[in-house]
Structure 1
């Protein structure tokens, strides 16, 4: 190769070190550039073609080596729309192609960056510090699911969020087995904890009547209802009488002879039973046939209960056919012809509050966003200790402004009956409140969703209802407040009604050969044939309120700078030496 070869090789070394110095200079200059990826320098030796024993070390070529796969430090940021990617991937962005009617226009091209200092511009676009527009996937406002697969430029609207009517209230609570209402007295017999229907409504006397079987007449034979040896027990209030039927003797109450001429017809035996009950203390009670020819027993006092145990069959095989069980105007059973408190007037409110327990309250919203507060109270209407089942009724304050005889509280749903294990029997998944109006606000249809195990009756020493869940799905109209990016990579808009709506999903792009991307101005990269096509991901490690710093290490770059400077100086020495050797060769001619 000779002296000229050495000189040429030295020049390639100087050129390579100059290239390396340029990269070091650029890295240091961008040490504070957001998302910057430094460029290292690779040196490639160029060996002349010669026999193995005649080969020389040859020249050198400097090449750029990208570090796109090396992450910079992730730092927190106060701006909620700033974001960083923890791991591999790039934000998908697009430059503005032009402007029409004051708004940006786009060509649909995709570019990629790690620079995540995005902020809203005047049109609601998310633009980073280099002027590139963020792309992502829109989210359906109703389902909150991603609604597309092709990234598009994201634009956030600052319009009002329309009101959403409340249609469901998740409502779960435990009702105390013994509600300690203000009226409850531990020293009294059972029943002081129950709602007394007679305090809130005018009751008609209870009536126990046949529910099946053919009609009869007063002149029919008593034997068609009862046979000798059978019994019928009737209790009205505190008066209880058991009638025994026989044949071949005489009627002496409570023994009734079905062959006695004074009680051998249905009309006669019913009259005898009525007279006996009145004499025994059931004042005003009646026993006879109703307008349909069926037997009816009516209490004389509206507060008296009627309990029937019918052991008759008679020749008709149906006997008196009276429904066994208790008929009570205050508490209900499965066979009751009982009263239910449907509404509570304003002037009855104090009594009602003294006989019920609070069930919590929640604000709901009508279709136009008008608020209404649902206040709920629970009243226990029966208990096993009182001779019935464990039953409750739910009341809602439908008009808190009512006065006098105006309705204030309204019973909602049916009976809530609980078994011995404290769970509803039958199971109650929900309660519907149809066409609900509260204080003049038409809320509409609401479902109280209790769930499979959300409604229970367990013993509670405090005797109060313990609400464990109460939340609803409505809200009033809201004004735009701010936008942020959460750690799931979703763009979230906040409104002054407390609602947050996810409007878009930030996507990231990955490449098989990430270091083969083409670098462009502003921290931008373009896909090349060597990098491969982008692989889009909508769950790619986006971190909100953060920025990725440059991956340049100043101390490392200074080390490279020293090495490069010394290598360049050494190269110049080779040039000087080669020059001196040439001078010596030229001097040989003298």
Structure 2
């Protein structure tokens, strides 16, 4: 090997170790970047064989690469819309909330912006499948990124629900006299979300026997305004000798001709289990003037609600919650996988783009096949390990110093060679 060849080998070593130091520097700078994938440096020997009998001379070539498929540690977060992927895959995001170019990221630091979009710390909008009223994916071709749209919860409106079931819990006083009556009120909703009040009348008709009647509904806000015609009453109720419910003559009632314009309602009536005490009971009140005890009702209707929050489960289902108690699934977040995730191209920020080396994208629901699961209220930390980076830095520094010594030595030898002519 000639002096100039040695000089070339040494300078290639300097260049290679400079690349390694750049990789180390980038990793350390991004040690706290959410979803960041650390880079490494691969060294390859470069040989230049000038003849069959001459020595092989050359140097080294360095390549930086990114460990895209590495799993970062998942850490809890107080923000419910912060997301992490436990396993393989990426979130589909775009820098545009309307038909933007899709890129892929593990940075799940999403929060709701002023327009209701889920946006991460890098300004990328989270894309997902819109769900229909049954909670199923609405798109016909769920395998294409064209089926995705920016997730926006402000477009979701609360819908009313007509009361379809009514549960009654109460103790009817066994020490009441035959013919005694008691009243109580329940609230129901029509299909348009209007609230109505129904007055119930309980009449003791004999030993262990009662009759339940109901008046036509009125507006909850105005008891003087009748709003519909009720049918299915009166209902006969009997009790066993131990005070448990024996039977009732009906299990539902209807309300028609709503003055609000709502459709007719059929409401199931649950008074408790036969021979049980989970609904109506008949025990002594222990009062000089007996009265109904522990009266409570539960019905499943509600008025139109106002959006109060967003929840995301491990299946990537985005649900809107409303102040009326309604919870509705509105989007599903896909997990995007690639045959070779390490073949993705890195872009500014923590996003990646598809390449020929990565293979075609595949859209999955969370946990399906090779796709990871979604963790809400969590973030994936950077995959940078500081102890490894400092170890690499020491090695790169020593190698760089050694290569520089070769350069200075070769320079001295060339100087000596030139001085021989003087």
Please give the TM-score of this superposition, normalised by the length of structure 1: 0.57
Shift of 1:23: 0.7
Alpha carbons of 1:46 and 1:402: their partners in 2 closer, same or farther (altered >3 Å)?
A: closer
User: Contact between 1:493 and 1:501, CA under 8 Å: does it hold in 2?
Assistant: yes
Alpha carbons of 1:93 and 1:64: their partners in 2 closer, same or farther (altered >3 Å)?
A: same
Q: CA RMSD in A?
A: 4.2
User: For 1:436 and 1:153, how far apart are their aligned partners in 2?
Assistant: 43
Shift of 1:487: 3.8
Shift of 1:75: 2.5
Q: Residue in 2 aligned with 1:352? A: 181
Shift of 1:522: 1.8
Structure 2: segments with no counterpart, 5+ residues: 225-229, 284-291, 367-371
**What is the CA deviation profile of residues 87-130 of structure 1, one whole-angstrom value per residue up to 9, with x for unaligned ones?**
2211101222xxxxxxx6434x3210111222333332222222
Aligned with residue 126 of structure 2, among 130, 134, 138: 134
Q: Does 1:161 align with 2:158?
A: yes
Please give the TM-score of this superposition, normalised by the length of structure 2: 0.77
User: For 2:198 and 2:43, how far apart are their aligned partners in 1?
Assistant: 77
Aligned with residue 110 of structure 1, among 82, 102, 107: 102
Alpha carbons of 1:537 and 1:449: their partners in 2 closer, same or farther (altered >3 Å)?
A: farther
Q: Residue in 2 aligned with 1:456? A: 274
Aligned with residue 384 of structure 2, among 552, 570, 574: 552
Please give the secondary structure, in 1, of the residue aligned with 2:274.
strand
**What is the CA deviation profile of residues 272-297 of structure 1, one whole-angstrom value per residue up to 9, with x for unaligned ones?**
xxxxxxxxxxxxxxxxxxxxxxxxxx
User: Contact between 2:125 and 2:150, CA under 8 Å: does it hold in 1?
Assistant: yes
User: Contact between 1:367 and 1:443, CA under 8 Å: does it hold in 2?
Assistant: yes
User: Contact between 1:67 and 1:515, CA under 8 Å: does it hold in 2?
Assistant: yes
Q: Does 1:433 align with 2:262?
A: no
Alpha carbons of 1:480 and 1:512: their partners in 2 closer, same or farther (altered >3 Å)?
A: same
Q: Residue in 1 aligned with 2:188? A: 364
Q: Residue in 2 aligned with 1:500? A: 327
Shift of 1:577: 1.9
Alpha carbons of 1:459 and 1:38: their partners in 2 closer, same or farther (altered >3 Å)?
A: closer
Please give the secondary structure, in 1, of the residue aligned with 2:275.
strand
Q: Residue in 1 aligned with 2:309? A: 482
Q: Does 1:526 align with 2:350?
A: no
Shift of 1:57: 7.6
Shift of 1:160: 4.8
Q: Does 1:152 align with 2:143?
A: no
Alpha carbons of 1:374 and 1:128: their partners in 2 closer, same or farther (altered >3 Å)?
A: same
Q: Residue in 1 aligned with 2:288? A: none
Aligned with residue 181 of structure 1, among 174, 178, 186: 174
Q: Residue in 1 aligned with 2:86? A: 86
Aligned with residue 267 of structure 2, among 447, 452, 464: 447
Tell which deviates more after alignment, 116-125 or 513-522: 116-125
Q: Residue in 2 aligned with 1:37? A: 37
1:313-392 equivalences in 2 (<5 Å): 351-353=180-182, 363-373=187-197
Tell which deviates more after alignment, 109-118 or 67-76: 67-76
| Aligned pairs, number | 392
Please give the secondary structure, in 1, of the residue aligned with 2:406.
helix
Alpha carbons of 1:11 and 1:425: their partners in 2 closer, same or farther (altered >3 Å)?
A: same
Structure 1: segments with no counterpart, 5+ residues: 97-103, 185-195, 200-350, 384-389, 404-408
Please give the secondary structure, in 2, of the residue aligned with 1:455.
coil
User: Contact between 2:73 and 2:383, CA under 8 Å: does it hold in 1?
Assistant: yes
Q: Which has the larger radius of gyration?
A: 1
